[in-house]
Amino acid sequence: MSRTSHWIIRRLGHLDGVLLTLVLVLLGISLAAVASASGQSPARISGHLVNIGLALGVMVVMANVPPHLLSRVGPSLYVAGMVLLIGVALFGEIRNGSRRWINLGVMAFQPSELLKLALPLMLAWYFQHNETVLRAKHYLIAGALLLVPFVLILRQPDLGTALMIGASGFYLLFFAGLPWKVIFGGGILGAASLPVVWGMLHEYQQRRVLTLLDPSSDPLGAGYHIIQSTIAIGSGGFFGKGWMQGTQNQLDFIPERTTDFIFAVIGEEFGYLGTILLVGLYLAIVVRGLMIAARAPTLFGRLMAATLSLNLFTYVFVNMGMVSGILPVVGVPLPLMSYGGTALVTLLLGMGILMSVATHRQLNKT
């Protein structure tokens, strides 16, 4: 008995109290929002609870995996992801006009999801591996490791995921010390090539951007989502309409409101106060994550912690920007808020890695 409990306490000892508290508060808000958005559907709420339990379990497990062990799976995970991506490009299933899915017999699977974690792990491992001899060529190789999956996913086509994965890779390069002049040079070059990129975009992608600029141009089509979610948020006012009291939410005007558009529900029912609280909680996670990064003993730990933190907020920004109408509609869930098991597990897996970095202080051998 005591051995088991000791073992459990030791496992739990690898959790970071601050992060855990923040995550639990956010999950509590999520539960309330999903309950309201689903019209208190018991199936949705219990499903969400199962997802939360599962994801928290994954987080605890990950927190107990020492970073040096984790870094070792980086290359194999990356290679597996790339093989699947190439497989998709060759044999993938086409759904809604893009080739994103691969059929693994028992289930359909999007390899791009795997890359979201595999790419930072791979790059962090790579920099850690070459820590003592870092040169320009290492940055170039890292850039290539980033670019190949980016282009493959872009060609599926899945612009949203490609950009999110590209961003995580870029953050890692940035924290690994990519020189400012390369960053700015690349930025200027990128801006200059925007018209070319626009021409390369698929029509539906162009339309999404145009719809964003003027949602009323397509009020019943793509613009409908943005119009209805901005109405929901705007009508919430400073204090909100109250939990379960949002008319846009309860009367079914907000599309996808338990998943991608859940921020519209929160904005409508909890108002600007709720928005400030929400953004504040996310910022607190980022600050905690950056603190963990600052104190991490290894380069791998530093890079992973910093990248995961920035990545989380990027998702927050892209989702809330989309729902409030300043970014195009891309299928990105709101971290720790949206209903959906895969995203939640992936996120808490990341939180687990952060905790692992925070609690495994001894230097690792590489």
Partner 1 sequence: MRIHAPLKDLDHELARFQGRLKAGAAFVVLLATALLGRVFYLQVMQHEHYIERAENNRISLVPTSPHRGLILDRNGRILAENYSAYTLEITRAETDDLDATLAEIGALIEIMPGQLRRFRRLLSESHEFETVPLKSRLSDEEVAILAANRYRLPGVEVKARLFRNYQAGPGMAHVVGFVGRINDHDLKRLRAENREQNYKGSVHIGKTGLEQSYESLLHGRTGYDQMETDSSGRAVRVLSRVPPVPGKDLRLHLDLDLQAVAETAFGDYLGGLVAIDPNTGGVLALVSKPGFDPNLFVDGIDPESWKALNESPERPMVNRVLRGIYPPGSTIKPFMALAGLEMGVRKASDSIVDPGYFSLPNSRHQFRDWKREGHGVVDLRRSISQSCDTYYYKLAVDLGVDRMHDYLTRFGLGEQTGIDLNGESTGLLPSREWKQRRWKQPWYPGETVIAGIGQGYHLTTPLQLAQATAMLANGGKRIEPRLVQAVREPLGHDWQPLPGVVREQVAITPAHLGLVREGMMDVMRPGGTAARSAAGAPYAIAGKTGTAQVVGIKQGARYDASRLAREHRDHALFIAYAPAENPTIALAVMVENGGSGSGTAAPIARAVFDYYLTGKRPAGMDLEASDVAD
Least CB distance from residue 247 to partner 1, whole Å?
A: 5
CB neighbours (10 Å) of residue 151? 12
Minimum distance from residue 212 beta carbon to partner 1 (Å): 13
| CB closer to partner 1, 109 vs 174 | 174
In the complex, least distance from residue 197 CB atom to partner 1, rounded to whole angstroms: 22
7 vs 239 by CB, closer to partner 1: 239
Contacts of 312 (CB under 8 A, 6+ apart): 282, 285, 286, 289, 335, 347, 350
- Per DSSP, which regions of 63-214 are E strands? 93-95, 98-103, 108-109
Looking at the DSSP bridge assignments, the partners of residue 103 are 108
Closest distance between partner 1 and the C-beta of residue 134, in Å?
7
Q: In the complex, what is the shortest distance from the CB of residue 321 to partner 1, in angstroms, rounded to a whole number?
A: 7
Q: Please, what is the minimum distance in Å from the beta carbon of residue 54 to partner 1?
A: 28
Rounded to a whole number of angstroms, the minimum distance from the CB of residue 265 to partner 1 is 13
Listed in sequence order, the residues at least 6 apart from 22 whose beta carbon sits closer than 8 Å to its beta carbon are 281, 284, 285, 288
Q: Select 111 or 236, whichever has its Cβ closest to partner 1.
A: 236
Contact 248, 228 (CB under 8 A): yes
Q: How far is the CB of 255 from partner 1 (least distance, A)?
A: 9
At residue 91, the 3 state secondary structure works out as helix
Q: Which CB sits closer to partner 1, 84 or 308?
A: 308
Q: Name the residue nearer to partner 1 (CB basis): 236 or 352.
A: 236
Q: If you write DSSP's letter for every residue of 11-39 in order, what string do you get? A: HHTTS-HHHHHHHHHHHHHHHHHHHHHTT
- Residue 211, CB half-sphere, CA atoms under 13 Å: how many? 21
Distances from the Cα of 308 to the Cαs of 152, 153, 196, 304, 322, in angstroms? 22, 20, 31, 6, 21
Task: Please provide the distance, in angstroms rounded to a whole number, between the alpha carbons at the two ends of the chain.
Answer: 37
Closer by beta carbon to partner 1, 165 or else 233: 233
Cα torsion 232, 234, 239, 241 to 10°: value is -30
In the bound state with partner 1, the residue whose beta carbon lies nearer, of 94 and 287, is 287
> What are residue 108's DSSP bridge partners?
103
Query: Site residues (CB under 8 A) for partner 1?
Result: 132-136, 139, 171, 174-175, 177, 179, 228, 230-238, 247-248, 251-253, 267, 271-272, 275-276, 279, 282-283, 286-287, 290, 293-294, 302, 306, 309-310, 313-314, 316-317, 320-321, 324-326
Provide φ and ψ at 103, rounded to 5°.
Answer: -95, 115
Place of tokens 């809330």: 320
Q: Which is nearer to partner 1, 154 or 310 (CB)?
A: 310
